[in-house]
Chains A and B, each alone.
Chain A
Amino acid sequence: RKEVEQDPGPFNVPEGATVAFNCTYSNSASQSFFWYRQDCRKEPKLLMSVYSSGNEDGRFTAQLNRASQYISLLIRDSKLSDSATYLCVVNGDSSNTGKLIFGQGTTLQVKP
């Protein structure tokens, strides 16, 4: 089993749609969780951190479910500019000192 798993997609949605991505992780001792966005041929950039209580940033909402070991990202009112690959990232080290593990990424295509 991979340490961090994501559905690679692609997810093809129309503008204005709501889309959700899930990510599962295998190390129950993981402490930190993030969503990154990567545009084609560019470096990943932090989209948002994921907290146990859940967090929201505009149209984006991230949730963490420790019991089931998954995190989610919800995008509301999708824009064309949201088209990208979304990477789930988990701090895989139980002592929280490093070793960030990336999922394969989920590709989102927003269509007009």
Chain B
Amino acid sequence: DGGITQSPKYLFRKEGQNVTLSCEQNLNHDAMYWYRQDPGQGLRLIYYSQIVNDFQKGDIAEGYSVSREKKESFPLTVTSAQKNPTAFYLCASSARTEAFFGQGTRLTVV
């Protein structure tokens, strides 16, 4: 089945450690996105990529990094510079129309 897969679903990390969230899609979509959602809040754009080997910062890119070496993959690294990383992270892909989401990764930093 075609879709977008995020892993892991739950992730616990110690403060000060970098962590990488995986996002893979087999929908042949050019555009991919990372959003962060905090409890009771909307989605805020971290990074997005419209084509392989290119990506742009969203509204809250500080403390995060991404790569887009393959069309199918858009991993997000949460670095130690991110002051408040505990959140629900959502990856999406789009063919310039509506976006399709993965199931999300809940990151908890202790």
Give chain B nearest CB distance to A15 CB in angstroms: 25
For B106, give the chain A residue with the smallest CB separation. A41
For A102, give the chain B residue with the smallest CB separation. B43
A46 touches B50 (CB 8 A): no
Roughly how many angstroms separate A101 CA and B44 CA in the complex, as a whole number? 8
Roughly how many angstroms separate A43 CA and B34 CA in the complex, as a whole number? 12
B50 touches A98 (CB 8 A): yes
For B98, give the chain A residue with the smallest CB separation. A46
A43 touches B45 (CB 8 A): no
Interface centre among B43, B88, B99 (most CB of A within 10 A): B43
| B103 beta carbon closer than 8 Å to chain A | yes
Which one, B42, B58, B94, B102, contacts A103 given CB within 8 A?
Answer: B42
Residues of A within 8 A of B98 (CB): 32, 34, 46, 49, 89
Binding site for B on A (CB under 8 A): 6, 32, 34, 41-46, 49, 87, 89, 96-105
Binding site for A on B (CB under 8 A): 31, 33, 35, 41-45, 48, 50, 56, 58, 88, 90, 92, 94, 96-104
A-B pairs with beta carbons under 8 Å apart, 23 shown: A32-B97, A34-B98, A41-B88, A42-B104, A43-B103, A44-B43, A44-B101, A46-B99, A49-B98, A87-B42, A89-B99, A97-B31, A97-B50, A98-B33, A98-B94, A98-B96, A99-B48, A99-B56, A100-B33, A100-B99, A102-B42, A104-B42, A105-B42
